[in-house]
Amino acid sequence: MKPSARKPNWNVLGLLPAHLIMVLTLIIPIGIIIVVSFSTRGPYGGFEYVFTTAPYKQLLFNEGWTGELEFNPQYLIVVARTLVLSAVTTSICLLLSFPVAYFIALRRPTIKVLLIYLVTLPFWVSMIVRVYSWIIILGKDGVIEKTLRGVGLVDNMGSLLFGNTAMLVGLVYSYIPLMILPIFASIEKLDPALIEASHDLYGNRLITLRRVILPLTRPGMIAGAILVFVPSLGAVLEPTLLGGGKTMMMGNLIQLQFGGARNWPLGAAIAIVLMAAVMIFLVFQGLRSMRIEGLERAS
Amino acid sequence: MNADNDVRRYPGFGVFSAIFFAYLYLPIAVVVFYSFNANRIVSNWGGFSLHWYTTALSNANLLTAVKTSLLVATVATVASTLVALMAALVLVRGRNVRFRRISETVVNLPLLLPEIVVAVAVLILFSEAGLANGLVKLMIAHTTFCIPFAFLSIRARLQGMDLDLEEAARDLYATGWVAFRRVTLPLILPGVFAGAMLAFVISMDDFITSNLLNSGGATTLPVYIFSLIKQGVSPQLNAISTLIMLASIALATVAFLLQRQR
Amino acid sequence: MNDEAGLRAPRKAVEIKGVSKVFGTYQALKPVSFDIYDNEFFTLLGPSGCGKTTLLRMIAGFEQPTTGQIFLHGSNIQGLPPHKRRVNTVFQSYALFPHMSVEQNIGFGLENLGWSKDRRDARVADMLRLVHMEAFAGRKPQQLSGGQRQRVALARALAPEPEVLLLDEPLSALDLKLRQAMRDELRILQRKTGITFVFVTHDQEEALDLSDRICVLGDGEIQQLGTPAAIYEEPSNRFVADFIGETNFLDAEVIAVNGEQATVTTQLGMTLTASHKKAVAGQKAFMSIRPEKISLPAQANPIAVDGTIMGTNYLGGYTYYLVETGGTTLRISKRNSVSRGQMFEIGQSVKVGFAAESVRILGA
């Protein structure tokens, strides 16, 4: 008998707890979510294991008195809004982050460390407090309104809160550090000689930016886009606090179904749609970054 | 003249960055500023006062929420850090680990899903399992989503570590356990602490999951603050927010310094 | 003026006029002035930190001189950004764009200069042929070997027909064998294209091998400027004698100076008269003699001394002998052209000799 056969397998033992937790608390429950999304709504909330496609139908249609289906875009609008707002948030974060990340990457080591610390710091500060701060700024009698009134620009403009713009402001503010860090990392990795080579070969700053710097820092931008887009899709706090009750995103719509509205099957169906959106995006980006990696490593 | 000729420099990026940092910190500054407002109406300045801090600190509901949050965060931190450390050791240092990539994806799963989906998953799990204790529910859920944060931090540290060091220890007649305890562990400890702190802050900060699970009398701090925000902006809320920010900035600084330690 | 370039009237390609560079409080380069001629293979040679790369970067436009001016074919290029200077650089790390193919890399400069597609393609094809890389046009830099990358970098820099080609230690990343081969290629490329090469290196052998003229830099100033032979045979100071090739330094006392010749008494006990630089009568000086210029054993040499073999280093083509004599150890190299039986043994007493013409006296 081989003595090694009786030795504990540390690889398996080490990974066991983490995998057990993930399987029990996430993978199996996600399976249950799928089941719930095809189940019947219980009389007092919750659900009953009776198969139906009603929750998905409900996403698109209203059921009339006589049982006929009538198209109702209200949930579709929420889905569309979520996708658009997340995409716009990601784009704005990209645009704002690049110059900042580039500027930081060029600093001396000590200043660089300090600036990176300053970028990460807000992320550690309570998310709810950061979103709340925008209520003080954008709200009725808020900082912006008072300032504008102070210089005599407006008389009474009311609240800037509760709309797509307010949500957008909150989303960008919440997630932008996640965009700066990977872009910064990829700019820092960029060989300065490549920039010099571009200038040496008669490229001015704009040409160098477009043809050398941006293409070579794309992996950082893709990583940043993933880090911003995914949590934006599932955002709950920003739409709840800044969007008001009416302009919803998928995140707080799901929350509502499992909380106040007590329509678990519908909530589960929306959660499935959300998860599908995330997965499609991740697979798409994963293929893209694999292609880039492949090009870089093909030797 | 010198700087102008640096081909790596782009004019305007400095000013842009300065404005950006102002944007990043102004909202926080606004909250801090108004927390010292003596006036009950937030946006009307009524002079400097620490009044709202004293009311905040004697707010029994707040203190209960803080206690709940601390308890949940501590348990979740310890549990997730230990689990993450074990997984990281195997995934970074283990030899002949099968399914390494898939394994890593599984460990990082909570990061790949929007948190609301994680929250719904655990909510349904607990309802099906018939678990009623609010605190236990929170502890389990928080452990789950804290694992990847601790894991990534520890993994980064492990990857930066010279593999030769442990082999040198083994060469000098140390057993596997001694080599780990005397060489590997001390070297990755800063990463482990940083990971633990990150996990702690993530847990303390969590709103989405805690709010969805909010039942059985276990209200965490963010959930309590949310309920205050729903009641409207108030100076006391600003004071509480400022205190929370102070605490998280202190933690973040320590974690940041730990991570930079060589 | 310059023997090699003497056939044509030399035209100045680059003029360096009182150029210096200070980084913060560190003086990287003290004010220097010299000219580089058209069609010349000119080398800036020196140890690291001597200011040679700084000088090159100032010609390229990546650094601005603290004082002084640089002229390119007669026009002042002060303040001109790199992309407006008709000079191109071969970078030490090659700096090939990893996201572009070999072709795209070579065509990059031409594109920026606004060349038409047809003209560009033709030029790129010419360049690929010039560096023997036709078969690799579509490859990415990561798919090339070190030597191939080097060739692409050369082709890329030569493609826009620069007035001057700057080469920043281009061979340092290659292994020894490849380095030797690339030297020949560089020389041929320079002849074929007729473009002025300004070459930076810390490798004295490379400099001697390749250059028409060498500018030896040390401690941020010019130590000597001249042809390889002049620099090797007539070093103007101890730094140059030491840095270029190998030499034996012996203490000497200057008795008299008579024009180009100085008479000294050396550490070895004899008095001799030899060519000198900056020797002052009555002062201390150094006597420098190259290892290959000492005969072992002494033949009919005018100057001969007794010594003992203290060590032998067999290096294939040569053997180095360490010979102790007069309180110092001489390093002597001897070609292994004859049979191996000629080798000396440690402890053996020998007579070594040399001629006064082989000695260079350098003022302290």
- Binned at pLDDT 50, 70 and 90, residue A160 comes out as low
Same domain, C174 and C283: no
* Total domains, chain C: 2
- Binned at pLDDT 50, 70 and 90, residue B216 comes out as low
Angle at A179 between CA B20 and CA C96, to 5 degrees: 105
Select the more confidently predicted residue: A286 or C350. C350
Residue contact A197–C89, C-beta within 8 A: yes
What phi, psi does C247 have (nearest 5°)?
A: -155, 160
The answer to whether residue C259 scores a pLDDT higher than 90 is no
Q: What mean pLDDT do residues C105-122 have? A: 95
Using CA atoms, how far apart are residues B117 and B128, in angstroms rounded to an integer? 16
Q: Any chain B CB within 8 A of the CB of A230? A: yes
* pLDDT of A153: 63
Nearest chain A residue to C155, by CA: A201
Same domain, C251 and C322: yes
CA A36 to chain centre: 25
Using CA atoms, how far apart are residues B6 and C64, in angstroms rounded to an integer? 9
- Binned at pLDDT 50, 70 and 90, residue C105 comes out as very high
Q: What mean pLDDT do residues A196-205 have? A: 94
Residues of B in contact with A241 (CB under 8 A): 229
* Shortest CA gap C345–chain A (Å): 52
Quote the domain boundaries for residue C202: 4-238
Same domain, C148 and C202: yes
The answer to whether residue A155 scores a pLDDT higher than 70 is no
Question: Virtual CA dihedral for B29, B35, B36, B41, nearest 10 degrees?
Answer: 120
Residues of C in contact with A299 (CB under 8 A): 142-143
* pLDDT of C133: 93
- Which A residues, 66 through 85, put their C-beta within 8 Å of a C-beta on chain B? none
Residues of C in contact with B7 (CB under 8 A): 62, 81-82
Q: Any chain B CB within 8 A of the CB of A258? A: yes
Please state, for a pLDDT cut of 90, what percent of chain C lies above it.
62
Using CA atoms, how far apart are residues B73 and B138, in angstroms rounded to an integer? 9
Residue contact B120–A136, C-beta within 8 A: no
Q: Are C274 and C240 in contact (CB under 8 A)?
A: no
* pLDDT of A295: 52
* pLDDT of C85: 93
Same domain, C19 and C156: yes
* pLDDT of A70: 77
* pLDDT of A57: 83
Q: How many CA atoms lie within 13 A of C15 on its CB side?
A: 14
* pLDDT of C5: 46
Residue contact A127–B260, C-beta within 8 A: no
* pLDDT of A25: 87
* pLDDT of B261: 66
Angle at B249 between CA B243 and CA B252, to 5 degrees: 145
Q: Left, alpha or beta for B16 (phi > 0: left; psi -120 to 50: alpha)? A: alpha
Which of 1.10.3720.10, 3.90.1150.10, 3.40.50.300, 3.30.2130.30 is the CATH number of B52-260? 1.10.3720.10
Q: Any chain C CB within 8 A of the CB of A19? A: no
- Binned at pLDDT 50, 70 and 90, residue B235 comes out as confident
Tell me what the pLDDT averaged over chain A comes to. Answer: 84
Residues of A in contact with B98 (CB under 8 A): 11
Using CA atoms, how far apart are residues C12 and C158, in angstroms rounded to an integer? 20
Please state, for a pLDDT cut of 70, what percent of chain C lies above it.
96
Token pair, residue B24, equals 């990043």
Nearest chain B residue to A45, by CA: B127
Q: Any chain C CB within 8 A of the CB of A293? A: no
Same domain, C287 and C229: no
Q: Any chain B CB within 8 A of the CB of A208? A: yes
* pLDDT of A1: 41
Same domain, C194 and C328: no
Residues of C in contact with B5 (CB under 8 A): 61-64, 79, 81
Q: Any chain C CB within 8 A of the CB of A18? A: no
Residues of A in contact with C84 (CB under 8 A): 202
* pLDDT of A73: 81
Same domain, C163 and C190: yes
* Shortest CA gap C144–chain B (Å): 27
Tell me what the pLDDT averaged over chain C comes to. Answer: 90
Using CA atoms, how far apart are residues A102 and C222, in angstroms rounded to an integer? 38
Range name among B211-215, B246-250, C26-30 with the lowest pLDDT average: B211-215
* pLDDT of C331: 92
* pLDDT of B142: 93
Q: What mean pLDDT do residues C103-121 have? A: 95
Mutation for testing the B interface, residue in A11, A129, A274 having most B CBs under 10 Å? A129
Token pair, residue C182, equals 């690339």
Q: How many CA atoms lie within 13 A of A183 on its CB side?
A: 28
Using CA atoms, how far apart are residues C218 and C239, in angstroms rounded to an integer? 8
Mutation for testing the C interface, residue in A191, A199, A201, A296 having most C CBs under 10 Å? A201
* pLDDT of A64: 66
Residue contact B107–A142, C-beta within 8 A: no
Range name among A26-40, A55-69, B133-147, C325-339 with the lowest pLDDT average: A55-69
Residues of A in contact with B147 (CB under 8 A): 18, 21-22
Q: Are B98 and B168 in contact (CB under 8 A)?
A: no
Same domain, C111 and C228: yes
* Shortest CA gap C143–chain A (Å): 4
- Binned at pLDDT 50, 70 and 90, residue B25 comes out as very high
Rounded to a whole number of angstroms, the distance between the first and last alpha carbons of chain A is 45
Q: Any chain B CB within 8 A of the CB of A136? A: yes
* pLDDT of A156: 59
Q: What mean pLDDT do residues B185-199 have? A: 86
Neighbours of chain C (3+ CB pairs under 8 A): A, B
Residues of A in contact with B23 (CB under 8 A): 173
Q: Read out DSSP for C3-70?
A: SGGGGSPPPEEEEEEEEEEEETTEEEEEEEEEEEETT-EEEEE--TTSSHHHHHHHHHTSS--SEEEE
| Interface predicted TM-score (ipTM) | 0.84
Q: Kindly tell me the burial class for residue B201, based on how many C-beta atoms sit within 10 Å of its own C-beta (0-12, 13-18, 19 or more).
A: buried
The residue type found at C361 is I
The predicted-structure confidence for C289-325, as pLDDT tens digits, reads as follows: 999 999 888 777 778 888 999 988 888 888 889 999 8
Same domain, C255 and C186: no
Residue contact C81–B5, C-beta within 8 A: yes
- Find where tokens 């996403």 sit: A59
The answer to whether residue C11 scores a pLDDT higher than 60 is yes
* pLDDT of C1: 43
* pLDDT of C159: 95
Domain termination residue (choose one: C238, C257, C273):
C238
Using CA atoms, how far apart are residues B222 and A241, in angstroms rounded to an integer? 13
Distances (CA, A) of B231 to B236, B249, C346: 12, 27, 98
Nearest to A194 among C88, C95, C156 (CB): C95
β-pair partners for C333 = C320
- Binned at pLDDT 50, 70 and 90, residue B105 comes out as confident
The predicted-structure confidence for A68-115, as pLDDT tens digits, reads as follows: 777 888 888 889 999 999 999 999 999 999 999 999 999 999 999 999
Contacts A–C by Cβ distance under 8 A = 72
Range name among B9-13, B171-175, C197-201 with the lowest pLDDT average: B171-175
* pLDDT of B1: 39
* pLDDT of C260: 86
Tell me what the pLDDT averaged over chain B comes to. Answer: 84
Nearest to A296 among C91, C95, C142 (CB): C142
Select the more confidently predicted residue: A139 or C285. C285
Q: Which of C292, C291, C250, C290 is nearest to C272 (CA)?
A: C250
* pLDDT of C2: 46
- Binned at pLDDT 50, 70 and 90, residue C8 comes out as low
Same domain, C140 and C182: yes
Q: Are C158 and C150 in contact (CB under 8 A)?
A: no
Range name among A38-52, B11-25, B135-149, C46-60 with the lowest pLDDT average: A38-52
* Shortest CA gap C217–chain A (Å): 24
* pLDDT of B260: 72
The predicted-structure confidence for A219-237, as pLDDT tens digits, reads as follows: 899 889 988 998 899 898 8
Q: What mean pLDDT do residues C342-355 have? A: 85
Residue contact C61–B5, C-beta within 8 A: yes
Using CA atoms, how far apart are residues A135 and A155, in angstroms rounded to an integer? 20
Residues of A in contact with C88 (CB under 8 A): 200-201
Same domain, C210 and C66: yes
* pLDDT of A298: 44
Residue contact C64–B1, C-beta within 8 A: yes
Interface of B with C (CB under 8 A): 1-2, 5, 7
Residue contact C98–A297, C-beta within 8 A: no
Same domain, C207 and C79: yes
- Binned at pLDDT 50, 70 and 90, residue C110 comes out as very high
Q: Are C69 and C20 in contact (CB under 8 A)?
A: no
The answer to whether residue A152 scores a pLDDT higher than 80 is no
* pLDDT of C300: 78
Residue contact C98–A203, C-beta within 8 A: no
Domain termination residue (choose one: C219, C238, C257):
C238
The answer to whether residue C222 scores a pLDDT higher than 60 is yes
Q: What mean pLDDT do residues B31-35 have? A: 86
Q: Beta strand pairing status for C261-266 and A40-41?
A: unpaired
CATH number of the domain residue C314 falls in: 2.40.50.100
Range name among B31-45, B80-94, C186-200, C345-359 with the lowest pLDDT average: B31-45
Residue contact B244–A104, C-beta within 8 A: no
Q: What is A80-250's CATH superfamily?
A: MetI-like (1.10.3720.10)
Select the more confidently predicted residue: C135 or A246. C135
The answer to whether residue B83 scores a pLDDT higher than 60 is yes
Residues of A in contact with B140 (CB under 8 A): 25
Q: Are C235 and C244 in contact (CB under 8 A)?
A: yes
Nearest chain B residue to A190, by CA: B8
Select the more confidently predicted residue: A299 or C248. C248
- Binned at pLDDT 50, 70 and 90, residue A56 comes out as confident
* Shortest CA gap B231–chain A (Å): 12
Residues of A in contact with C156 (CB under 8 A): 201
* pLDDT of C55: 94
Q: Three-state secondary structure along A129-154? A: HHHHHHHHHHCCCCHHHHHHHHCCCC
Q: What mean pLDDT do residues A46-57 have? A: 80
Token pair, residue C82, equals 């790199």
Q: Which of C181, C179, C159 is nearest to C89 (CA)?
A: C159
Range name among A34-48, A143-157, A159-173, C299-313 with the lowest pLDDT average: A143-157
Range name among A56-65, A177-186, B198-207 with the lowest pLDDT average: A56-65
Residues of A in contact with C82 (CB under 8 A): 196, 199-200
The residue type found at C309 is I
Q: Read out DSSP for A161-177?
A: -SSHHHHHHHHHHHHHH
